Amino acid sequence: MWTDNETEQDFLNFTGVAGTVAEIILQARGGPISIGVSGAWGVGKTSMIRLIRKAVSERAEADKKKFLFVDFNAWLYQGYDDARAALLDVIASKLAEEAEKRKTGVDKTKELLKRIDWIRTARMAVLPAVSLAFGVPPVGLAGDVWNLLRKVGAGDVGKDTIDVAGKIAEQVGSSMSSLLKPRDTASPPKEIQALRDSFEGALKELNITLVVLIDDLDRCLPATTISTLEAIRLFLFLERTAFVIAADNEMIKYAVRRHFDGVNDDNLITSYFDKLIQVPIRVPTLGTQEVRAYLMLLFVMNSDLEPEKKEKIRTEVCERLGQTWQGKRVDRAFLQTLGKLPEDLVARLDTADRLAPLMTKASGISGNPRLIKRFLNALSIRMAISRAQGVGVDEAVLAKMLLFERTGNQKAYTELSKAVSEDSGGKPRFLAHWEDDANAGKELKLAEPWNDPFVAEWLALPPRVADLDLRGVLYVSREHAPLITPEDQLSSESAELLSGLLQHPEMAGSLSAKVAKIAPAEKSIIMDRLLDRARQEQEWGVPDILEALLVVGSADPAQGLRVSAFLSEVPASQIKASIVPKIGDQPWAKSLFQRWDQGDVSIPVKKAIKALG
C-alpha cells in the first residue's frame, strides 16, 4: 500500500523546478517576493512546496540562520479558527520563538503579538453585530454571550445559567481589557500599519528573511480561502519576506467569484489573485515517461530492497528523466541496468510499463500522481482479497479490468460485467474480434457505449481477456461491479423485492416496509444491483431509480452511505437542482452537499443547497 502523504523524496524530477524557485528567493536578497505554485488537485503541489523548502535550506547552508520557515495549512484551521487570525498568530509565534532562541528582537516580537491580539479582539467586538444583522448566531466567545442572552430572555435562569454567566463575564473582561488600556487613538487603519511596521522591525532586528509556505488553500471553503489571502496581503511586499502559495488556480477563482457575489467580470476575478503573485510557477504536467517512472518508483519503494539501493534507483531515475528530451527512456530495461532485481519486482515493472500510456491518457486519471497512487492501492487491496479468499486472480488481468472500471464508460463496463455473469465460463467472448483488430492496428467502428478512443487502447493492452474466466476478478471487485448470478442466495421474498425495485423503481415507497425486514446482507446485494442500474443514468435530477436507492438506503444506514458515495462520484455536469430537496432530509446529505458546494456543480444546484439551509 502507498500512503497519500507528501514527501521530500523526488519521484518526478521536480527538483529542477524547486531549485529554480529557491534561486529566485535567494536572489531577491531579502527583497519581498511572492511565488504561486499552481496545479490541479493531486498533481504534487505539496511535494513541490517541500522540495522548495529543502532547496532553499541546502542553497543557503552557509547562511541558513538568515532564513526562517513558517508552514501554514489553512485547511487545518477551517471551522476552528478565523484563518486570517490563525495565520497572523502562527507567523508571530514563530518569530517570538526564534527571538527567544537568539536573545534578540524579543520586545519587537512581543509588540507584534499584542497588535495581533488587538485585531482579534476588535474582530470579536464587530462579529456579533454582523452575525445578527444577517440572522446568523455568532460563534466563539461572542456566541457564548448570545446563547446566554437567549436563555435569560426565555426565562431560563437557574444555577447553571448563573455559573455560565460568571465564567463568560471573566472571559469578556479579559478579552476587552486590552481595548480599555492606553490605545485610545487606535483604529483599524493605524493598527494595520503599526502591525506591518512591527513585523518588518522584528525581521530586521532578527536579521532574517521569513519564508512562509502556504498550502492546501484549494481544499478550503471560499470564506477560509479569502480570509487566508487577506492575511497574506497584510504582510505581502514587506522587506525580508517570501511567500510561496500552493493552490489550484481554478479553485481560487471560484472562491473569489463567491466572495464578489454578483460580479461576473472574469478579469477582475483573475487579477485579484494575480496581484498577490509576482512569480507564477506551474507544477509540470506528466507525460508517459514521467508516469512510467513514477509507477516504477512506487513499486521499488514498496519492495524489499535495501534502503540504500532504493535511493540509488530513485536518484538514477530522476537523473534519467532529465535526459528524456534526448530520446532516453525510463523503462524496465533501464531499471534492470541498475542492478539485480527480484523477480516479483520485475513483474511489477512490466505492469508499470503496460499501464503508463493509458494512465497518462485516460481522462479519469490523466497522469495525476494522487490518482495513480489510489489506483495502485485499489489494485493492492483487491489482490489481497484474492489471496485471502483463494480466488487466484492474475494481477495483470485485475489491473486491466480495474483500469476500465475507473476510467472507461460505465455503461460499457456494466455490459462487460453482465456478459461475464451470464456466460457459463465467465468469459466476455464478444471482445475477441475487437481485441484481434485492436492488436492488429485496425480501426474499430464500435457503437454506443463502446465508441470511445479509450476502448481501442484498452483492448490492445495485454493481456487478452476475451478467453479468460473473469468471475474471480468481478468477485474481488464487488464494491463497484457486483457479480449477480442465479447462484446468489437471495431469499424468495428478497428476489421478488429486487425484481419489483428494478422494474418499477418509482413505486419503491410502497415496498419500504418489506425492504426494512430483510437481512442486511440481502440489502447489500439489492443495493449492488440498484447502483448498477443507477450508473446508466446520465442526468441526476430525480430519476426513478433514485426513489429505490433512497428506500434501501433508509432501511440500512450502511447502504445510505453507499448512495452518498455514489452520488459524490457522479459528474458535476449531471447533477440538477431538483435532486437537492429530494435528498435533503437524508442523514448523509449535509456532507454530500458540502462536497458539491466545493466542487463544480452548477450555480442552480448551489443555490438550491443554500436555500435548503
**pLDDT recorded at residue 253:** 79
**pLDDT recorded at residue 550:** 95
Which of 90-104, 176-190, 300-314, 421-435 is predicted least confidently? 176-190
Mean pLDDT of 544-568: 92
**pLDDT recorded at residue 107:** 86
**pLDDT recorded at residue 130:** 37
Report the chain's mean pLDDT, rounded to a whole number: 80
User: By C-alpha distance, which of 310, 316, 383 is closest to 341?
Assistant: 310
**CA-to-CA distance for 245 and 231, rounded, in angstroms?**
12
Q: Check whether 393 has a pLDDT greater than 90.
A: no
Third-level CATH fold of 15-120+188-282: Rossmann fold (3.40.50)
Q: Check whether 381 has a pLDDT greater than 50.
A: yes
> Which span out of 73-77, 243-247, 451-455, 586-590 was modeled with the highest average pLDDT?
586-590
**pLDDT recorded at residue 172:** 46
Mean pLDDT of 42-68: 80
**pLDDT recorded at residue 6:** 57
Mean pLDDT of 357-361: 79
Where is pLDDT greater, at 6 or 570? 570
DSSP code, position 429: G
How would residue 580 be classed by pLDDT, with cut points 50, 70 and 90? very high
Query: CB under 8 Å to 107, separation ≥6 — which residues?
Result: none
**pLDDT recorded at residue 64:** 57
**CA-to-CA distance for 562 and 527, rounded, in angstroms?**
8
Report the predicted TM-score, pTM, of the whole model to 2 decimal places: 0.57
Q: Check whether 320 has a pLDDT greater than 50.
A: yes
Where is pLDDT greater, at 45 or 260? 45
Mean pLDDT of 563-589: 91
**pLDDT recorded at residue 1:** 56
Question: In the chain, pLDDT over 70 holds for what percent of residues?
Answer: 82
**pLDDT recorded at residue 129:** 40
Q: Are 120 and 85 in contact (CB under 8 A)?
A: yes
Which pLDDT tens digit goes with each residue over 20-54?
Answer: 888 888 888 888 888 888 887 777 788 888 888 88
Output the nine-digit C-alpha cell for 223: 470564506
How would residue 4 be classed by pLDDT, with cut points 50, 70 and 90? low
Q: Are 441 and 400 in contact (CB under 8 A)?
A: no
Mean pLDDT of 438-462: 88
**pLDDT recorded at residue 545:** 93
Mean pLDDT of 47-74: 81
**pLDDT recorded at residue 330:** 87
User: By C-alpha distance, which of 208, 239, 261, 235 is closest to 63?
Assistant: 208
The domain locations on the chain are 15-120+188-282, 492-612
**pLDDT recorded at residue 136:** 39
Which pLDDT tens digit goes with each residue over 112-138?
Answer: 888 777 766 655 444 444 333 334 344
Where is pLDDT greater, at 67 or 265? 67
Q: Check whether 159 has a pLDDT greater than 90.
A: no
Which pLDDT tens digit goes with each residue over 497-544?
Answer: 888 898 889 999 999 999 999 888 888 888 888 987 898 888 899 999
How would residue 392 be classed by pLDDT, with cut points 50, 70 and 90? confident
Which of 84-98, 162-176, 499-513 is predicted least confidently? 162-176
**CA-to-CA distance for 295 and 376, rounded, in angstroms?**
9
Output the nine-digit C-alpha cell for 12: 518526478
**CA-to-CA distance for 215 and 221, rounded, in angstroms?**
14
**pLDDT recorded at residue 232:** 80
Where is pLDDT greater, at 184 or 409? 409
**pLDDT recorded at residue 285:** 80
**pLDDT recorded at residue 128:** 43
Mean pLDDT of 572-586: 92
Residues facing residue 281 across a β-bridge = 37
Q: Where are the alpha helices (DSSP H) in 237-388?
A: 249-259, 266-274, 288-301, 307-321, 332-336, 343-361, 369-388
**pLDDT recorded at residue 313:** 92
**pLDDT recorded at residue 5:** 58
DSSP-assigned states of every residue in 314-330: HHHHHHHHTTGGGT---
Q: Are 212 and 241 in contact (CB under 8 A)?
A: yes
Long-range (24+ apart) CB contacts under 8 A made by 296-303 are 296/330, 296/332, 296/335, 296/349, 296/352, 297/11, 298/2, 298/11, 298/372, 298/373, 298/376, 299/345, 299/348, 299/349, 299/351, 299/352, 300/335, 300/345, 301/2, 302/1, 302/2, 303/342, 303/344, 303/345
